[in-house]
Amino acid sequence: MKKIGAGVLAATLAVSLAACGSGNGDSANNGGKGGKVTIELALSKSSQDSAFVADDLLREFEEKTNIRVNLQWLPAEQTSTVLQTKLAVDETPDLVQYNLMSAVSELNLERNFEILDNEAWVSRLENKEVLSAFGHVYSFHVSQDTGKQGVVYNKDVFEELGLSVPTTFEEFLAVCEKIKESGITPVFMPFKDNWAANVFPAAAFADYAAKNDPTLFDDLNANRKKWTDVPEFAAILEQQYEVYEKGYTNADILSDSYDMAVGKFLNKEVAMMFMGDWLIDNILEKDPSMNMGLFAIPTSEDAYLGSSPLGGQLFIPKKAKHMEEAKQFLDFMASKEIAQRIVDRQKYVPNLSDVTTPELPAYKQEIVDRYIAPQKMALTSEARTIVDSSELYRSLQDQFAGGKTAEEVLKAWDEKFNQLMKDKGAEGF
Amino acid sequence: MKLSKSLYSYYLIWPALIIYSVFFVLPAIIGLYYSFTDWRLDRDAIRFIGWDNFQRIFTDKTLLLALKNTLIFAVITVIGKNVLGIALAVALNMRLKSRNFLRAIFYSPSILSVLVISIVFTPMLRTEGTINRLFESVGLGSLSQAWLTDPSIVIWTISALAIWQHTGFQMAIYLAGLQSISKDYYEAATIDGAGSWKSFLNITLPLLLPAININLMLTLIGGLKVFSEVFVLTGGGPGNASQVVGTIILRAFGEGSWGLGTAMNTLLFAAVTLISIPLLIFMRRKEVTE
């Protein structure tokens, strides 16, 4: 069966290659009628709600510029494979919607995509970083509304117990103690899903690097430093373990899974969790009256909130057949009026200085005031890692199963990281 | 008996042969080739790298652990499924009023999806789950375990669940085997004064050998290729404690190391073949005819 599995994989790859070769024949369609140009925008079928492909916007763009946008919907589970193939065989679309970080690790960003540093809209960007890699702006978006990661907490519980948001780890433990005394589980750890064990370290590592060693992740990715070289990393892993060891969590953390989290919060069984703000959205969807908030993982004083990379950016491949028209499309989307319309519609935090922020949900507004505006955000270590991190998750899970110490977790991950980077052909490994 | 005349032309074999070649033989050969390459998610070219993948497999600690777990699982389940399968078959071959009902009961787990079994058992196997509470309620609290989260016992728990699920299937094959044994032998043995244990050893077992062979092969191959049980119950965790070869292959593919994953696959394929074919030949020789 396994044998067949590998074969089927190879066969599907071959089929998808063939499909791309033939299905794309008309992409260079310049159209004879009145010099109308058609540009191709390739995006995953799972991005159907993308703000950039709303019918009215595409129609307006066509009326204004006489450029038609043809959407190439790629099968969601094969988006990266199909795009890799398209880029490799020169059947390049003029625009691609993708996630910047994945584009770095999956689509060979530097080789395949155009640097956009000199576009007019770049000067209006508030947060260049969410669109940049290797020091250049490679992508476009009107939003800077990245996922945020920290401690999701039930504000009502805090209020009832007279607690305030902790700003140091000692305060955090004290808060846990108070909550535990009230009979509520302070922190929910669903570590059967091993990725959940990495939320705390990923944000805390980023906080450490942002404050003490801004080039740390670049150094790690270039093999100038090792994961085991940073004693603070081990200390952070020990802090997360301490929360569990002191009994501030659910009892059976390795049996509980992430899908139980929403229910635990709704039933007021738990008060906090190390997670992203998407969990708050999921909770509010079920019960809008819940009073939720997010604060930074308090491993250092006045810690930064972890941010995951922005997704759904637009890219222009270097080999785009209609480079100028594709750039016009970005100019159109970046224009004050259109950008404002998109931002209002999607309730985004805008990234263009002349676009105003719409009324945000209460928890989001709070994040803006407390973290985004004062620029107390740091891209998580997870986002800065350009190889698959699942071995780190497993090692973290092992830490909680009693199989590894914090140092051993980092040592195991360092070995795996080295190997994956070497396989990848990354420089310095 | 002579049946030398072939009724159909050999050409009729072609459709099956073509399908088999295209969907099995060809991918297997392609897979063999890829296992000697550095085929990766983020590499443009596929390069031939000789035995590097295999060398890496045998120096990877996690993979050696997976190999050990796979062997534990295979051995435990082969013994468990077959010993219990024969015992059940013999018991349910006796004249019991409820035997059809009992046969259905014992067979039923094997028609369940592993996913369903995982959903049912995962909560039962929690540290404060039904099974541990059951132990506590009868005063055997010391037997309570973290069944799926203690690295040292997790693979045994998974093996036990697999035995529970599939013994009924083995039982069905043994029942068929038992029913093909003529009652005359037992009658003759009884007249000669043999007890039931003696007739089991000297009549039932030898004449059951064809069924034993089939079951040994099925359970052994199934055991070596174990994947779904581990995948749904623990995903190889906690950490890597319950990884088996099947899940480690998935891990390699997930990391984008397609060449390495294919090499592991090739190795598994070779191991299954090298273990099962000699065993098959050996067991065949032992079979007796009535």
Interatomic CA distance for residues B218 and B74, integer angstroms: 11
Q: List CB contacts of A46: < 8 A, sequence separation 6 or more.
A: A76, A79
Which among B43, B125, B254 has the least Cβ separation from residue A390?
B254
Query: Which residue type sits at A168?
Result: T
Strand partners for A95: A41
User: How many CB atoms neighbour CB A111 within 10 A?
Assistant: 9
Contact status, residue A150 vs residue A187, Cβ threshold 8 Å: no
User: In chain A, what is the straight-line distance between the N-terminal and C-terminal CA atoms, in Å?
Assistant: 36
Strand partners for A314: A97, A140
Percent of chain B surpassing pLDDT 90 = 49
Residue A298: name the closest of A420, A128, A192, A175 by CA.
A175
pLDDT digits (tens, 9 = 90+) for A303-322: 999 988 788 899 999 999 99
- Domain boundary assignment for chain B: 25-117+151-286
| Maximum CA extent, chain A | 76
pLDDT (0 to 100) of residue A34: 56
pLDDT digits (tens, 9 = 90+) for A159-184: 999 999 999 999 999 999 999 999 99
pLDDT (0 to 100) of residue A278: 86
Chain B positions in Cβ-Cβ contact with residue A255 (cut-off 8 Å): 122-123, 125-127, 148-149
pLDDT digits (tens, 9 = 90+) for A149-161: 999 999 999 999 9
Contact status, residue A349 vs residue A368, Cβ threshold 8 Å: yes
Residue A206 pLDDT level (bands cut at 50, 70, 90): very high
Chain B 96-135, CB below 8 Å of chain A: which residues?
Answer: 122-123, 125-128
pLDDT (0 to 100) of residue B1: 52
Closest residue in B to A409 (Cα) is: B239
Question: What mean pLDDT do residues B47-57 have?
Answer: 89
Q: Which fold has domain B25-117+151-286?
A: MetI-like fold (1.10.3720)
Structure tokens at B115: 């996913």
Q: Do A7 and B30 touch (CB under 8 A)?
A: yes
pLDDT digits (tens, 9 = 90+) for A89-110: 788 999 999 988 888 877 888 8
Q: Do A6 and B265 touch (CB under 8 A)?
A: yes
pLDDT (0 to 100) of residue A130: 86
Q: What is the mean pLDDT of chain A?
A: 88
Contact status, residue B247 vs residue B235, Cβ threshold 8 Å: yes
Residue A30 pLDDT level (bands cut at 50, 70, 90): very low
A interface with B, Cβ–Cβ below 8 Å: 1-11, 88, 105-106, 108, 192, 194, 251-252, 254-255, 387-388, 390-391, 394-395, 397-404, 420, 423-425
Interatomic CA distance for residues B166 and A231, integer angstroms: 49
Which of A333-365 are b and which e, b meaning 16 or more Cβ less than 10 Å from the residue's Cβ? bbbeebbbbbbeebebbbbbeebebeeeeebbe
pLDDT digits (tens, 9 = 90+) for B149-204: 899 999 999 999 999 999 999 999 999 999 999 889 989 998 988 888 888 988 89
Query: Which residue segments constitute the domains of chain A, with CATH numbers given?
Result: 30-145+310-355 (3.40.190.10), 148-307+379-424 (3.40.190.10)
The alpha carbons of chain B give a radius of gyration, in whole angstroms, of: 23
Contact status, residue A386 vs residue A220, Cβ threshold 8 Å: no
pLDDT digits (tens, 9 = 90+) for B76-100: 999 999 999 999 999 999 888 888 9
Q: Do B239 and A395 touch (CB under 8 A)?
A: yes
Interatomic CA distance for residues A197 and A396, integer angstroms: 6
The CA distance from B36 to the nearest CA of chain A, in Å, is: 14
Q: In this complex, is the C-beta atom of B246 within 8 Å of any C-beta atom belonging to chain A?
A: yes
Question: What mean pLDDT do residues A66-79 have?
Answer: 87
Chain A positions in Cβ-Cβ contact with residue B149 (cut-off 8 Å): 252, 254-255, 401
Q: Do B256 and A388 touch (CB under 8 A)?
A: yes
Interatomic CA distance for residues B129 and A283, integer angstroms: 27
